[in-house]
């Protein structure tokens, strides 16, 4: 049932709006040179951080469709009655979301990094940083989607909830992109691991708590 | 005979208001309970308690494997009905509810009654001994009601049990439980 759920969620994501977060990501990355000017040195210095801000804001977009539609349609209830634990549902949703979000984001990060004046080694670093960070972004998105499902104005609330939670990831992810080195990468990986490991339990409890 | 569903001294409050207190219910193989009562009396909440989707404030709810049909369709709107039901392993229930010809029609194009039939088909194909039906007749035409009655009768005859909440009379013999009094 878990694999069927992953396939089903991935299929639904592919058929609706999978390009939106990626387009948004590229758009934000494009705005930075317009805002701060085309100075290559300056862009190179802030590029890593700007890329992460773009990735974070892009990660907010799919949140609304991750859990709420399934809750409202009774899909989550039926999964529970078919013996699937809420934690397993959350895990499947994280995997499916990551599969449909991360590869496209990484592809878009190539032109995105170049727009921000990062080439060669800097491009490589930012791709590694994003690759390590995307599982955590997917996990956070599902957690926040579960926490806000059923609430009015869930979309704006989701942003307020997710962005602060992503700060540790942002700090180390951006320093991997900007400075590089093994230390920040290990710390980013550790934070990513903690978020991914804890997310199914938090999201599962949130799904249970949202029942009425 | 072992009970497929039992409530012992179950109390439930919703939004600070007691819906029922110290309620006892037992449903054995072959049995049928018909929940009645005015709107807001707690019929749907009782069904969700039985399904384990809500927790009782006090008391004990015990239930075996069960299947639930409520107002939610829980089928992917964009999929053809056959595939959407197949996700739940329930495509075998389509014929019994007269949905055979609709297998290729996307769920979003189905009428209210056809969706109701689909949720009932999922229950019928579940193989669970206990069926929980929340307003199963809503939206059903005469043919649909006759098919449901036949399914319920066959299920009870085969040792299953049914708990149904409905404002309208159901076919067959039922033990009535009236809430909200």
Q: What is the dihedral of CA B47, B53, B57, B58, to 10 degrees?
A: 70
Which of A30-34, B13-17, B51-55, B92-96 bottoms out in mean pLDDT, i.e. has the lowest?
B13-17
* Six token digits for residue B41: 């009396």
User: B79: which DSSP letter?
Assistant: S
Which of B104-108, B163-167, B171-175 bottoms out in mean pLDDT, i.e. has the lowest?
B171-175
Provide the CA A189 distance to its chain's centre, in angstroms. 15
Kindly determine whether residue B53 and residue A4, on different chains, have CB atoms separated by under 8 Å. Answer: no
Residue A18: its pLDDT value, please? 86
Kindly determine whether residue A77 and residue B87, on different chains, have CB atoms separated by under 8 Å. Answer: no
Percent pLDDT > 70 in chain B is 99
Kindly determine whether residue A77 and residue B53, on different chains, have CB atoms separated by under 8 Å. Answer: yes
Question: What strand order describes the sheet that includes B130-134?
Answer: B66-69, B130-134, B161-165, B32-36, B175-178
Average pLDDT (B49-53) is 92
**ipTM confidence score:** 0.91
Task: Tell me the C-alpha distance between A50 and A58, whole Å.
Answer: 12
Of B51, B75, B78, the CB nearest to A15: B78
Burial of A104: CB neighbours in 10 Å, binned 0-12, 13-18, 19+? middle
Q: How confident is the model at residue A187 (pLDDT cuts 50, 70, 90)?
A: very high
Of B70, B72, B87, the CB nearest to A8: B87
Write the pLDDT tens digit of every residue in A115-171: 888 888 888 999 999 999 999 999 999 999 999 998 988 888 999 999 999 999 999
Is residue B64 pLDDT above 90, yes or no? no
Q: Closest residue of A to B71, CA-based?
A: A74
Write the pLDDT tens digit of every residue in B113-160: 999 999 999 999 998 999 999 999 999 999 999 999 999 999 999 999
Is residue A205 pLDDT above 60, yes or no? yes
Residue A37: its pLDDT value, please? 87
Kindly determine whether residue B72 and residue A81, on different chains, have CB atoms separated by under 8 Å. Answer: no
Q: How confident is the model at residue B1 (pLDDT cuts 50, 70, 90)?
A: low
User: B165: which DSSP letter?
Assistant: E
Provide the CA B92 distance to its chain's centre, in angstroms. 18
């Amino acid at each position: 049932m878990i694999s069927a759920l992953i396939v089903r969620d991935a299929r639904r994501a592919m058929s609706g709006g999978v390009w939106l977060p990626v387009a948004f990501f590229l758009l934000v990355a494009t705005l930075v040179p317009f805002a701060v000017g085309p100075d290559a040195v300056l862009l190179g210095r802030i590029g890593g951080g700007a890329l992460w801000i773009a990735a974070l804001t892009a990660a907010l977009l799919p949140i609304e469709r991750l859990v709420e539609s399934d809750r409202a349609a009774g899909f989550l209830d039926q999964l529970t009655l078919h013996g699937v634990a809420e934690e397993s549902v959350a895990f499947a949703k994280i995997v499916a979301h990551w599969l449909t979000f991360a590869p496209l984001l990484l592809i878009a990060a190539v032109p995105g990094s170049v727009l921000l004046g990062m080439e060669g080694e800097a491009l490589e670093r930012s791709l590694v940083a994003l690759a390590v960070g995307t599982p955590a972004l997917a996990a956070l998105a599902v957690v926040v989607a579960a926490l806000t499902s059923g609430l009015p104005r869930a979309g704006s609330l989701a942003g307020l909830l997710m962005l602060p939670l992503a700060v540790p990831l942002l700090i180390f992810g951006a320093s991997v992109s900007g400075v590089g080195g093994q230390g920040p990468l290990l710390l980013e990986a550790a934070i990513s691991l903690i978020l991914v490991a804890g997310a199914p339990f938090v999201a599962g409890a949130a799904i249970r708590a949202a029942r009425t | 005979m072992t009970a497929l569903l039992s409530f012992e001294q179950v109390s439930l409050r919703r939004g600070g208001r007691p819906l029922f207190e110290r309620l006892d219910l037992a449903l054995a193989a072959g049995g049928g309970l018909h929940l009645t009562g005015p709107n807001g009396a707690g019929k749907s909440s009782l069904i969700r308690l039985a399904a384990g989707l809500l927790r009782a404030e006090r008391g004990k709810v015990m239930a075996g494997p069960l299947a639930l049909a409520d107002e939610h369709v829980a089928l992917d709107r964009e999929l053809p009905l056959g595939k959407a039901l197949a996700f739940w392993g329930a495509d075998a229930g389509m014929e019994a509810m007269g949905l055979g010809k609709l297998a290729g029609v996307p769920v979003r194009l189905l009428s209210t009654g056809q969706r109701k039939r689909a949720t009932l088909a999922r229950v019928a194909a579940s193989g669970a001994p206990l069926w929980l039906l929340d307003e199963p007749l809503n939206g059903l035409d005469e043919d649909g009601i006759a098919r449901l009655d036949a399914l319920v009768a066959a299920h009870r005859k085969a040792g299953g049990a049914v708990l149904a909440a409905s404002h309208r009379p159901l076919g067959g013999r039922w033990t009535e439980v009236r809430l909200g009094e």
